[in-house]
């Protein structure tokens, strides 16, 4: 034990050691990050500025966009800088912060997707009670509960991980600090950590999964009773993408955190991490908001006010 040195920084293995592939990885992640950044910032701005969008639905969409913006910013910029400079070191404290933020935003993503499913259940299945059930106070409580519960969960995971000793290898087989890869390189007994990770992860996943599935069973049974085919199509077109994104997110995250260590491989780890860290923040603006007519109309109005102020003033005076 006296010959072992305590790890003070970690080396992120990333996607490749070949310089050309590192540049390609940088360019791909740059395009993805800019697309996610622009999409989520547009939604946040439009929802904040347009008074007509100050409703429960767009309140949750605005929160989700802010969450996705933070979520993708925790991992992608660091990974791009690592590929560009070929310097993939991260300090011990930086790794702690990254683990805390990744888990916080991942759990918050699950919580907000669940809250949005409940919102749609209320709007479709109990429209007469919608205004009472989804009032401003209830929405604020749901959002606060989602953020607080995700932070508590993250504190437990982060503290449980970094109570371990890291005194051997400092190479993390991932493009960011992730708990399963940290457990692999720890020189402590990680059996208790794995039990806590699986138990706590299973609890969060099962609760969110059951709530969403039950909500959608009621939603689909109600939608099937709509006499208009166009009405059924509109309801399904808004619900099914939400369900697909949720299933993709929860399946890849569960695969990463709750599978046996013996089935671990670098390519699977990287693919799963991209699926639950990169894809949702990129796809959520397209699926939930940019396909929405009210969002698009408000966005065009905002662009018109910025680039054609005189024309908009003239239209306002004539109206």
pLDDT in the model for residue 319: 46
pLDDT of 83 reads 87
Reply yes or no on whether the pLDDT at 2 is more than 70: no
In a domain, 280, yes or no: yes
Whole-model pTM: value is 0.85
Q: What is the pLDDT of residue 195?
A: 87
% of the chain with per-residue pLDDT over 70: 90
Within a domain: residue 211?
Answer: yes
294 domain-assigned = yes
pLDDT for 148: 94
**Which pLDDT belongs to residue 263?**
57
Q: Is residue 27 part of a domain?
A: yes
- pLDDT at residue number 108: 93
Residue 1 lies in a domain: no
Residue 48 maps to a domain: yes
Examine the pLDDT at 128 and tell me if it is beyond 90.
Answer: no
Residue 167 lies in a domain: yes
Mean pLDDT of 136-165: 92
Domain of residue 77, CATH code: 1.20.1070.10
DSSP the chain: -TT-----EEEE--S-S-HHHHHHHHHHHHHHHHHHHHHHHHHHHHHHH-GGG-SHHHHHHHHHHHHHHHHHHHHHHHHHHHHHHT--EEEHHHHHHHHHHHHHHHHHHHHHHHHHHHHHHHHHH-GGGHHHHT-HHHHHHHHHHHHHHHHHHHHHHHHHHHTS---S--EESSSS--HHHHHHH-SS--HHHHHHHHHHHHHHHHHHHHHHHHHHHHHHHHHTT-S-HHHHHHHHHHHHHHHHHHHHHHHHHHHHHHS-GGG--HHHHHHHHHHHHTHHHHHHIIIIIIT-HHHHHHHHHHHHHHH-HHHHHHHHHH-
Task: Among 3-7, 8-12, 30-34, 76-80, name the one with the lowest average pLDDT.
Answer: 3-7
Residue 205 has pLDDT above 80, yes or no: yes
pLDDT in tens, 253-310: 777 777 666 556 777 888 888 888 888 888 888 777 666 777 777 777 777 777 766 5
Domain that holds residue 31: 9-318
Residue 98 reports pLDDT greater than 90: yes
Q: How many domains does the chain have?
A: 1
The per-residue pLDDT for 291 is 63
Residue 4 lies in a domain: no
């Amino acid at each position: 034990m006296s010959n072992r040195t305590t790890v003070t920084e970690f080396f992120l293995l990333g996607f490749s050691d070949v310089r050309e592939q590192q540049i390609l990885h940088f360019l791909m992640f740059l395009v993805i990050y800019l697309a996610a950044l622009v999409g989520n910032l547009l939604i946040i701005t439009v929802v904040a500025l347009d008074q007509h969008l100050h409703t429960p639905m767009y309140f949750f969409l605005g929160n989700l966009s802010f969450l996705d913006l933070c979520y993708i910013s925790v991992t992608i910029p660091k990974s791009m800088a690592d590929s560009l400079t070929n310097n993939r070191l991260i300090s011990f404290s930086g790794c702690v912060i990254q683990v805390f933020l990744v888990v916080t935003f991942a759990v918050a993503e699950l919580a907000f997707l669940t809250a949005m499913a409940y919102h749609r259940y209320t709007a479709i299945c109990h429209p007469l009670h919608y205004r009472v059930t989804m009032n401003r106070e209830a929405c604020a409580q749901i959002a606060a509960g989602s953020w607080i519960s995700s932070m508590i969960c993250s504190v437990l995971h982060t503290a449980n991980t970094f109570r371990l000793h890291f005194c051997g290898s400092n190479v993390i087989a991932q493009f960011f600090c992730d708990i399963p890869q940290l457990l692999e390189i720890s020189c402590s007994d990680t059996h208790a950590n794995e039990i806590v990770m699986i138990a706590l992860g299973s609890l969060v996943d099962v609760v969110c999964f059951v709530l969403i599935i039950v909500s959608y069973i009621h939603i689909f049974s109600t939608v099937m009773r709509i006499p208009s085919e166009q009405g059924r199509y509109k309801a399904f077109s808004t619900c099914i993408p939400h369900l697909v994104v949720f299933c993709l997110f929860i399946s890849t995250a569960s695969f990463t955190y709750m599978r046996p260590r013996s089935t671990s491989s670098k390519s699977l780890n990287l693919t799963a991490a991209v699926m639950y860290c990169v894809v949702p923040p990129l796809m959520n603006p397209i699926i939930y908001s940019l396909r929405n007519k009210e969002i698009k109309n408000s966005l065009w109005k905002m662009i018109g006010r910025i680039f054609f102020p005189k024309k908009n003033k003239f239209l306002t005076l004539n109206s």
